[in-house]
């Protein structure tokens, strides 16, 4: 069984790539944020707003566990923070899991997030200048977990097709 899990920072393209890879491999596709939103019947943005981040992390952990315990092969895109919590990190160590870290430069992430930050509660309120500082510090903290992935694929300057081909060639 192959559980292909795409990890990486907000804005790196986990959802677009996950969908594409699952289509190419003819595997089921799941997106953890979508799964959470359906479960709670609220957007991630509204969960943060009305219930706070600690609540979100609890639901995120429960939903991640539910997906990871599925008895099937799949491609799963998780949130930027998912691999950085101990219980989730442990689930990613399972022998059936193929974790792929989509690695982007800070410059690329900041440029993406400038236009995509609205729906991401952790960065929605930041100015462009604050965004650079925030992403730099956050990535430094999270890299410890991201670097535990089985494979790392650099995404800067590459098309979606090129990145998905690269990922598929690793599997």
Shortest Cβ 105–ligand S3P spacing (Å):
16
Q: Are 11 and 113 in contact (CB under 8 A)?
A: yes
Is 57 annotated as belonging to a binding site?
Answer: yes
Shortest Cβ 72–ligand S3P spacing (Å):
22
Helix 32-40 / helix 53-68 crossing angle, nearest 10 deg: 110
Q: Which residue has the tokens 């952790």?
A: 122
Which tokens go with 119? Answer: 């729906």
Is 120 annotated as belonging to a binding site?
Answer: yes
Q: Which residue, 55 or 71, is less far from ligand S3P as judged by CB? A: 55
The stretch near ligand S3P (CB under 6 A) out of 21-29, 76-84, 128-136, 149-157 is: 76-84
Q: In 69-126, where does DSSP find H-type helix?
A: 86-91, 106-116
Is 136 annotated as belonging to a binding site?
Answer: no
Which tokens go with 52? Answer: 């706070």
Shortest Cβ 148–ligand S3P spacing (Å):
16
Is 61 annotated as belonging to a binding site?
Answer: no
State which of residues 122, 126, 132, 160 lies at the interface with ligand S3P (CB under 6 A): 122
Query: Is residue 121 at the binding interface for ligand S3P, with CB under 6 A as the rule?
Result: yes
CA–CA gap between residue 99 and residue 101 (Å, rounded): 7
Query: Is residue 13 at the binding interface for ligand S3P, with CB under 6 A as the rule?
Result: no
Query: Is residue 10 at the binding interface for ligand S3P, with CB under 6 A as the rule?
Result: yes
Q: Which residue, 25 or 109, is less far from ligand S3P as judged by CB? A: 109
Q: Are 41 and 21 in contact (CB under 8 A)?
A: no
Query: Is residue 103 at the binding interface for ligand S3P, with CB under 6 A as the rule?
Result: no
From start to end of the chain, where are the E strands? Answer: 3-7, 28-31, 74-77, 97-103, 151-154
CA–CA gap between residue 6 and residue 170 (Å, rounded): 13
Which tokens go with 105? Answer: 């430069």
Q: Binding site for substrate: what residues are annotated?
A: 33, 57, 80, 142
User: Given the rule CB under 6 A, which residues bind ligand S3P?
Assistant: 10, 14, 33, 44, 79-81, 120-122
Q: Binding site for ATP: what residues are annotated?
A: 11-16, 120
């Amino acid at each position: 069984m192959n559980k292909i899990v795409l990890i990486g920072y907000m804005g790196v393209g986990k959802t677009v790539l996950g969908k594409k890879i699952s289509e190419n491999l003819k595997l089921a596709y799941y997106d953890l944020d979508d799964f959470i939103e359906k479960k709670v019947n609220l957007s991630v943005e509204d969960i943060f707003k009305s219930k706070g981040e600690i609540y979100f992390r609890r639901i995120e952990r429960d939903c991640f566990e539910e997906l990871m315990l599925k008895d099937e092969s799949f491609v799963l895109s998780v949130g930027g923070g998912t691999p950085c919590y101990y219980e989730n990190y442990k689930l990613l160590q399972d022998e059936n899991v193929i974790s792929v870290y989509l690695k982007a430069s800070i410059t690329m992430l900041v440029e993406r997030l400038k236009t995509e930050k609205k729906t991401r509660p952790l960065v929605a309120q930041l100015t462009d200048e604050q965004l650079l500082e925030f992403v730099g510090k956050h990535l430094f903290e999270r890299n410890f977990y991201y670097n535990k992935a089985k494979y790392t694929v650099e995404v800067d300057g590459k098309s979606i097709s090129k990145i998905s081909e690269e990922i598929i060639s690793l599997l």
